[in-house]
A and B are shown apart, each in its own frame.
Chain A
Amino acid sequence: MVNVTLDHVTKIFGKVRAVDNVSLKIKHGEFMVLLGPSGCGKTTTLRLIAGLEKPTSGRILFNEEDVTYLPPRARNISMVFQSYAVWPHMTVYENIAFPLKIKKYNEEEIRRRVKWAAELLKIEELLNRYPHQLSGGQRQRVAVARAIVVEPRVLLMDEPLSNLDAVLRVRMRSELKKLQRQIKVTTIYVTHDQVEAMTMGDRIAVMNEGKIMQVGVPREVYYRPANTFVAGFIGSPQMNFIEVTVKTEGEKIVLDAGSFNVPPPKGYDRVLDKYLGKTLILGIRPEHIYVGDYVPSNVKVVTLNGKVDFIETLGSDTILHIGVDDTIIIVKVPGEVHVRVGDNVKIHLNEDAIRLFDKHTGKAIT
């Protein structure tokens, strides 16, 4: 049972606040993903947990034990590196057995455990090879086997899939997740890939500029982003952001986007009083907009008239760039659509999926 707690952790390199007052609780057996763009501090956070860096301030706890200033070797953790860091001067067997040898397991126990890890990762037949005789994917498996063989308290992974080719990456994604469920080790996984984060994480901590922007289960960060950063970072293509002004039209409140009005989405009508006359950001995901005449009957929509500006055909999906006056709205529809550039089309914004953000703070309005 290991809970990892980051308590107001800050790390400053020179003048850069790489990690800025981060507090985070990771529960035992949880698969926590640190997600963010490069340079957001996610890898530094991981290295702080590993003990490869010491924080400028704040504490790191494993359960109640303060490990902030313990060297990595005293923390009983494992790590999978982005470059795998499988030692080239040792065979696969020696690589996997290394952590066990240092922890002074007896010869038989070492053999048993290496066999167990190798079987789990399907690399039994590679045990006598040297790393340079392996493919990238195989080396990665060795790195994972080495990391789990000691049954660590915490398993840390730093973009372990980013050097694999696309097909292998998708396969390893599910394999790693299954493996983690099987051995139930508290896992902290760093990635910049939102698909990895969404598919693998029990919870996701989205980071930007050293700060945690939102922590939540994948559904939550996708459907209820806490701010414009999270809203924009998660989802592909990016969420549409439209500036709107809160106005009254007779008795009703409307969101004025310049050339068109949007009625306040469900649940927002009461809170919007406070924002009268102010500018907000309306966010709607491309996949939450319908095109043409078909709209599912139980969905409330806001309908706008637009003109097709550009079409990207992806096969499984089609991305339409639709100009509503001078605003371009990106729409993602499954399969193919029979429209051409220049066509006039109706688009329907799913009202439930509309999110509103404060323009200045970027925070979601609820």
Chain B
Amino acid sequence: MENPPPWQERIYALLKAADVRQVAYVPDAGHAHVIRRAQADPDMRDIVLTTEEEGVALAAGAWLGGQRAVLLMQSSGVGNCVNLFSLLHSADVPFVALVTMRGEHAEFNPWQCPMGRAAQGAMELMGLAVHRADTPEEVEEVVGAALDAAFLGGQRVAVLLSQRLIGRKRWTGR
């Protein structure tokens, strides 16, 4: 893709600096640049998932084996993860999810709204700390703090990347 927004490159740089080695994802346009960067990086393994909950278990397995992982997903995927989040708590595993939001700013598709509205609450109910970046300027600090809280502080953290950050999706059709 031509000229990704700089905040997406900053996320990749933060993952790199934090020595994240496994990047698990169900694709989303907002994560596309980081996914491409991970694919091109010989020190990172990009792992495409069939459902987001696989990424929760994968991240726990990576930690068991001494590697750091992150899960990239869209807000719709949060609901898919709920029971697997119990693994993180039961085994006290550090965890970071970066969640691109749907169902909020200028959402065109009403089907995205219920899970979009519930994503933060669902993760908080399951014991994750949830932070949010609404503007490009906030991304680096919020994501960097999440990586530190997880991999230095042992916490389970999610960062919501607002739909406004990603911009309006252009819909065509009649």
The yes or no verdict on A and B being binding partners is no
